A and B are shown apart, each in its own frame.
Chain A
Amino acid sequence: MTASATPKLVTFVVLAGLALLGGIALGQPELVVVAAPLVISLVLGLGNTHLPASTAKVETDVDRCIEGDVVEATVTLTSFETPVEMEVAIGISPGLSAEPTARSSTGMVGDGEQRSRIVPLQVIHWGVQSVGPIALRVHGPCRFITFEGVVEERETVKVFPVYERLMQGLPPADTQLHTGDHVARALADGIEFGTVRPFTYGDSVRRVNWRVTSRTQELHVNLAHPERNSDVVLFLDTFTDAELATGSTLDITVRGATAVAQHHLRHHDRVGLVSFGGNARWLTAAMGRSHTYRIAEFLLDVNATFSYAWKDIKLLPHGALPSGALVVAFSPLIDERAIRALADLGERGFPVIAVDTLSEDEVASGRGREAQIAFRAWKLQREMQRARLGAAGVMIHSGAGGVHVALRALSSLRHSPKAPR
């Protein structure tokens, strides 16, 4: 801890010195009398001041929560000396907020006893938020000397984003083998009626269509479309993060990805994730409750990392992009590497739906003729990029009006996009 003299000490010493000097120089004992309480206070206060032996730690009542929740951080202070006036303040991440008066408090702690304070923290943004470090300021007797120090004690709270529940998922490109909620194109056992065909050996008697059989005088059976699951891979462009009035593009990306992932996992689909940016990370497609938590944890660590390294989809392992999977991309269409990767995916035959997370309406052009021309050129360039992706078979939907508006519009599609032949 670092000791420092307070302005009060300086004021007391200067005033006492002036009064004593003036009293002696002018021969006025009354001025010395005025100095007496100041000197006594200085001697008593400074004589009892010593380096405090104090510790502090912080704990939170939960380690995982959702945006909008209130987390209670408990700061515990211990001092092994005579009771001292201890001021404590905790540092919090930008994703947390607290009343300014609640973040710092002052109390008397001493004689080895523990004092706990509960600081309510409002969770305002998703991500891995930290509570700490703890700043301690111990005031000596009479507050002439203060000892300040920082205790590097931190607690992390994983905050999951709030997302809008989708009523309908995105149309799958192809169904897979597991049972799910999508009606497969193939004919097999199922509920959805497919067609009627003549009976062959091995057909179940329960599937005989008696009406058609009686009309044609020949055994016919019903065939159905089975309910199967599908594969969805969420492709997150994390090369750049542009701040908009309604939130950052990365924020829109994570909220959109969470909504799509949660919907498809609820409907027994396999969901994979690819964070394509400065740090490329992926999560192979899987299903089930444990995978829901895995995805939530994965999305918490998504951040935009600046990198010059050229990256393409060859970087990704085969398992990250299963064949027949619907690729749902969230991208601000700013970084050339991400645009190239999306075009590459489309050209490789993956059905790709891209949500443009950068709404051009929220980008204001600069003042002046040159700025206007530059803004129009930028818009034309983006138009060209969209056309290029469209030619590669990527369906692009603007995120203007919110990502959920875009997702609702996309979920009303009857078919996923087809790659160009």
Chain B
Amino acid sequence: MQARLSVCCALLGLAVFLYPVSAAPTAVTLALAGCAVASLTLGLITSRWLGAGLAAGIALSNYALALGSGSARPDIYAPVLAVASWLLLELFDLAVMARRQGQIDAEVYDAHRRRLITTSGSAGLASVVVLVAGALFQAHPALLPASAIAAAAAVATAVALARRAMS
């Protein structure tokens, strides 16, 4: 199971990391995609989150760079990329779990499969809503402060929930 998950993760990673290259084929985006692939491979080999986190960070920077140099706005494939990036991290987590933990029951994988399907649906929907809202209200002067407040609220909610769960 670990090998299958690792292969799926690597293939999905390749697709996610090469998307900015297809959007803006420059030497910099290609180099950054290569770095992301190398980082993810290292993460899969060592089963450390640092590799996957670094790869995702590089991919995010690469995407921002590609968006800056690209002409087509807004990017209609952004929700797909968002769900694929999230799925990539979840698959990496499952690959790490399969490698580190001993015997794992099949129902554990089933539970994770169900969770990924339901969450990816809602995440995809939310991404589309955010994209459409961003495209519609791009020229509105209140968009920047509203989105800043929303972003701060999202991060604060996540941190507060984490603190509540750990206390």
Contacts and interface: CB of A to CB of B under 8 A. Distances in A.
Contacts of A347: none
Interface in B12-56: 48-50, 52-53, 56
Nearest to A117: B103
Given A3-B166, A4-B166, A28-B64, A108 B53 contact: no
Interface string A86-129: 01010000000000111111111000000000000000000000
Nearest to A13: B158
Of the candidates A9, A24, A50, the one having the most CB atoms from chain B within 10 angstroms of its own CB is: A24
Interface centre among A11, A16, A108 (most CB of B within 10 A): A11
A221 B81 CA distance: 112
Contact of B134 (A29, A101, A106, A145): A29
A317 interface: no
Contact of B130 (A27, A29, A83): A29
User: Which of B74, B97, B103, B119 has the most chain A CB within a 10 Å cutoff?
Assistant: B103
A22 B154 contact: no
B71 to A, nearest CB: 14
B38 to A, nearest CB: 18
B165 A41 contact: no
A40 to B, nearest CB: 5
Contact of B89 (A11, A13, A17, A27): A11
Interface in B121-144: 122-124, 126-127, 130-131, 133-135, 138, 144
A106 B86 contact: no
A105 B108 CA distance: 11
A105 to B, nearest CB: 4
Interface stretch (A135-143, A257-265, A268-276): A135-143
Contacts of A42: 158, 161-162
B91 to A, nearest CB: 12
Contacts of B158: 12-13, 16, 39, 42-43, 46
A33 B105 contact: no
A116 B144 CA distance: 55
Contacts of A34: 60, 63, 78, 81-82, 85, 127
A43 to B, nearest CB: 6
B134 A9 contact: no
A138 to B, nearest CB: 12
A33 B78 contact: yes
Nearest to A84: B111
B67 A31 contact: yes
A27 B161 CA distance: 28
Nearest to B86: A37
A33 B86 contact: no
Contacts of B127: 33-34, 36-37
Interface residues of B, number: 62
Interface residues of A, number: 63
A108 B130 contact: no
Contact of B161 (A15, A37, A46, A100): A46
Given A31-B67, A36-B123, A107-B107, A20 B82 contact: no
Contact of B67 (A11, A13, A18, A28): A28
B104 A33 contact: no
A321 B68 CA distance: 95
Given A20-B151, A41-B123, A106-B108, 5 more contacts: A3-B166, A24-B151, A29-B134, A30-B74, A35-B154
13 contacts: A12-B158, A16-B154, A24-B147, A26-B64, A29-B133, A30-B74, A33-B79, A35-B151, A37-B86, A101-B102, A105-B105, A106-B104, A108-B111
The 4 closest A-B pairs by CB, nearest first: A29-B134, A37-B123, A46-B161, A7-B49
Interface of B: 48-50, 52-53, 56-57, 60, 63-64, 67-68, 74-75, 78-79, 81-83, 85-86, 89-90, 93, 97, 101-105, 107-108, 111, 115, 119-120, 122-124, 126-127, 130-131, 133-135, 138, 144, 147-148, 151, 154-155, 157-159, 161-162, 164-167
